[in-house]
Chains A and B, each alone.
Chain A
């Protein structure tokens, strides 16, 4: 009943040991073990001699927990001792979105203007507490790490964990959204008064703007609109640089050397989301490596079916004997039912995406939160089980 028997295998080992593999992006819905997968792949590659940097974007400090780091800041920190024997190394970092945003501002605006922007209350809210900012900043940070890899050679493989749920796709949308905003008429509307002042700007940008201006003032109030306009005008130079870099990162994602790994758990929701991710990546022409399915249930007694086990348990109940064996048989019947359900769900995925390779890791009874646990997951994912 192993999924790899009916599906093309996903050669994770080959992917990680290929020196041409430079970036591995793990995506998938929340709670499927994405962070664990990213950390396990990074650890495995490092212990096989690669110099790896793993970037987590998730706000929960899960990666930190799973690799035994108590603190992760916005710069990669080397994990002592890991990969040394094989000549590899492991660095880990967690995205600090506000810090990343601040750095872009400081880099692209002159000091005086940067100071004004950083002090703007609208900016502070935008950069620290709104959903969405994270995805934009993730893009930026990945680009930075890739450039650092080229310049310093500190690492030659970057493994990225993406934000949970569908918003992970905003990661792909960021450049286009920014582009259409920056090329659009709305930004000209937002910036016009700051540049021209007074009502003169209407002559420049057209009368349609007066309607919009009226409506916006009515909705937002004059003061809020003014704050927004001041911020956008101030961020003008920053936006340009940010967009250019977002576009670079986007092409980096499409370039040879990058591989997307879709992560799922063997649950209906998670696999439906995985399908969605696969389709989305294909339509964006992003290179898809394969599907990783975590927490697959397994048994060493697959030839005793759920029905026979449950029937036998019932027999024993009627005999009012061997309660222990009856309990174990009932337990086994449940396990077999879970295995059947998982196999069925994977089969459905395969029907929709026959060409996508699959690698799987078994469900462990306990949680994975240390290096030995991650090694187990890494070993399972990189082991190709050939048809029996």
Chain B
């Protein structure tokens, strides 16, 4: 059987949780990771929980219903399914699955208990969303015990880094409140999965000060809560256009303007002072940016967590770009 490259390093992992500070490209990376895991013939479920329909936008499909739909075929075969989790639907599904409530469920809705649970009561949403991820990661084919798993991996596009530990740990809070009973049992099972080697929490970051800081804080919070940090995925990594002494000179505004002028002429461009100054200025900003990225990378090295680089794409990410990112993930995980 053709194993996807990514799964060889993450063999035991069934639930990949992807978090990241806002603006770091968390959803994009989650989608690329799902494609990477699916490549070579695997079945992967990509879940989103924030009601933003980010997955549908990325794969250029209509808004996702509360239903698992195939959204992409990975390289070398393999399917990515996607699901936008709706807390209310998840609540009914849960009640149905464990309690077979039937009409009593309607009574709950009528009296306002459902609205209370999904909108007013803080935390219940997180319980439902993590519960759904747990269910999908453990589901077997055709619902039969001992049968093969329905999905080889589940990728969860999770809340941002600032909330991730609280989100994943919510069932621990529940266990603190419910000392006994069915809720306690469910909460304990979910926490057991979340804390096991079957779960990996990946953090998406940029090589910028605040995202790096949040990533470092995030890893230590996860570790303190006994949750397994997976990889740090560094998004939008710039390829240095200048190197060594030239880069340093650009940063200090010491590049030779005459040389650039001569270069522009050789290329058949009309050179004028304004253009040369503008190019030097762009070189300076680039050098500053590269220097900053190097410093942030050094800070990330203080973590034990392995890193994966994803190259910056100046035109933004389209569907083809997602497949490129998936390739980059597979190559680096295999290495």
Is B14 in the interface zone, CB < 8 Å from A?
Answer: no
Task: Name the interface size band of chain A.
Answer: 35 or more
- A300→B266 contact, CB < 8 A: no
Q: Which residues of chain A come closer than 8 Å to B113, judged between CB atoms? A: 186, 189, 212, 216
Instruction: Judge whether B101 is part of the interface by a CB distance below 8 angstroms.
Output: yes
Query: A214 contacts the other chain (Cβ, under 8 Å)?
Result: yes
Nearest chain A CB to B164 CB, angstrom units: 11
Instruction: Please name all residues of chain B whose beta carbon is closer than 8 Å to the beta carbon of A321 when the two chains form the complex.
Output: 263, 266
Chain B CB count within 10 A is highest, among A173, A273, A301, for A301
Q: How far is the CA of A347 from the CA of B292 in the complex (A)?
A: 31
Q: Of all chain B residues, which has the CB nearest A181?
A: B120
With an 8 A cutoff between CB atoms, is B145 at the interface? no
Q: Which residues of A contact B275 (CB under 8 A)?
A: 301, 304
Residues of chain A within 8 A (CB-CB) of B292 are 365-367
Report whether B111 and A322 are in contact in the complex, using a CB–CB cutoff of 8 Å. Answer: no
Interface positions of B from 158 to 182, Cβ below 8 Å from A: 159-160, 162-163, 166-167, 170, 173, 176-182
> How long is the Cα–Cα vector from A268 to B318 in the complex, in angstroms?
11
Given A166-B52, A227-B177, A324-B255, answer yes or no on A177-B23 (Cβ-Cβ < 8 Å).
Answer: no
A211: chain B residues at CB < 8 Å are 104, 107
B87 to chain A, nearest CB (A): 11
Residue of A nearest to B270 (CB): A304
Q: B41 near A: Cβ within 8 Å?
A: no
* Pairwise interchain contact A218-B208, C-beta atoms closer than 8 A: no
* Contacts beyond the supplied A223-B178, A325-B264, A332-B282: 20 A-B pairs with Cβ under 8 Å: A31-B23, A60-B162, A126-B122, A136-B122, A164-B162, A165-B22, A177-B119, A186-B111, A187-B112, A212-B104, A220-B178, A224-B178, A301-B275, A312-B267, A315-B266, A321-B263, A324-B255, A328-B260, A335-B282, A341-B314
Instruction: Kindly identify, within residues 269 to 299 of chain A, every residue whose CB is under 8 Å from any CB belonging to chain B.
Output: 269-270, 272-273, 299
Question: Could you name 22 residue pairs across A and B whose Cβ atoms are closer than 8 Å?
Answer: A60-B214, A121-B176, A126-B122, A165-B160, A166-B50, A181-B120, A184-B115, A186-B112, A215-B104, A221-B183, A227-B177, A267-B316, A269-B54, A273-B52, A301-B282, A322-B262, A325-B266, A326-B263, A328-B260, A331-B241, A332-B282, A335-B282
Q: A32-B22, A212-B108 are in contact. Are A62 and B50 (CB under 8 A)?
A: no
B234-262 CB mask vs A (1 if < 8 Å, else 0) is: 00000001100010000000011001101
Mark out the residues of chain B between 47 and 96 whose CB falls within 8 Å of any chain A CB in the assembled complex: 50-52, 54, 57, 95
- Within 8 Å by CB of B162, from A58, A187, A316, lies A58
Q: What CA separation (Å) do A59 and B274 show in the bound complex? A: 45
Does B7 touch A at the CB level, under 8 Å?
no
Q: Are B21 and A31 in contact (CB under 8 A)?
A: yes
Task: Give A260 Cβ to nearest chain B Cβ, in Å.
Answer: 19
- B288: contacting residue among A132, A331, A366, CB under 8 A: A366
Q: How many residue pairs between the two chains, A and B, have CB atoms under 8 Å in the bound complex?
A: 240
B285 (CB) vs chain A CBs: closest residue:
A365
A313 within 8 A of B: yes
Give A304 to B22 CA distance when docked, in angstroms: 33
Q: Does B202 contact A (CB under 8 A)?
A: no
> In the complex the two chains form, is B112's CB within 8 Å of A341's CB?
no
Q: Which residues of A contact B210 (CB under 8 A)?
A: 60, 62, 65, 367
Residue A125, interface by CB 8 Å? yes
User: Whole-angstrom distance from the CB of B291 to the nearest CB of chain A?
Assistant: 9
- Decide: B241 and A330 in contact? CB cutoff 8 A: yes
Residues of A within 8 A of B179 (CB): 223-224
Measuring CB to CB, which residues of chain A are less than 8 angstroms from any residue of chain B?
29-32, 58-60, 62, 65, 121-122, 125-126, 129-133, 136, 164-166, 173, 177-178, 180-181, 184-187, 189, 208-209, 211-212, 214-216, 218-224, 227, 265, 267-270, 272-273, 299-301, 304, 308, 312-313, 315-316, 319, 321-322, 324-332, 334-335, 337-338, 341, 365-367, 369
B173 contacts A325, CB within 8 Å?
no
Given known A125-B176, A304-B269, contact A221–B120 (CB-CB < 8 A): no
Across the interface, name the chain A residue whose C-beta is closest to B186.
A219
Q: In the complex, A324→B282 CA distance in Å?
A: 13
Q: How far is the CA of A248 from the CA of B108 in the complex (A)?
A: 31
The residues of B that contact A65 with a CB separation of less than 8 Å are 210
A30 CB contact (under 8 Å) in B23, B255, B283: B23
Q: A181-B112, A270-B23 are in contact. Are A221 and B182 (CB under 8 A)?
A: yes
**B135 CB contacts on chain A under 8 angstroms:** none
Q: Which of B21, B178, B281 has the most CB of A within 10 A?
A: B178
Partner of A130, one of B122, B183, B286: B122
The CA-CA distance from A345 to B63 in the complex, in Å, is: 20
Please judge, given known A-B contacts A181-B120, A312-B268, whether A30 and B160 are in contact too, CB under 8 Å: yes
**Shortest Cβ gap from A306 to chain B (Å):** 9
Looking at the assembled complex, report how far the CB atom of B225 sits from the nearest CB atom of chain A, in whole angstroms.
Answer: 11
The contact string, 1 if C-beta is below 8 Å from chain A, for chain B 13-52, is 0000000011110010000000000000000000000111
The 7 closest A-B pairs by CB, nearest first: A30-B22, A31-B23, A325-B263, A221-B181, A31-B22, A130-B123, A322-B263
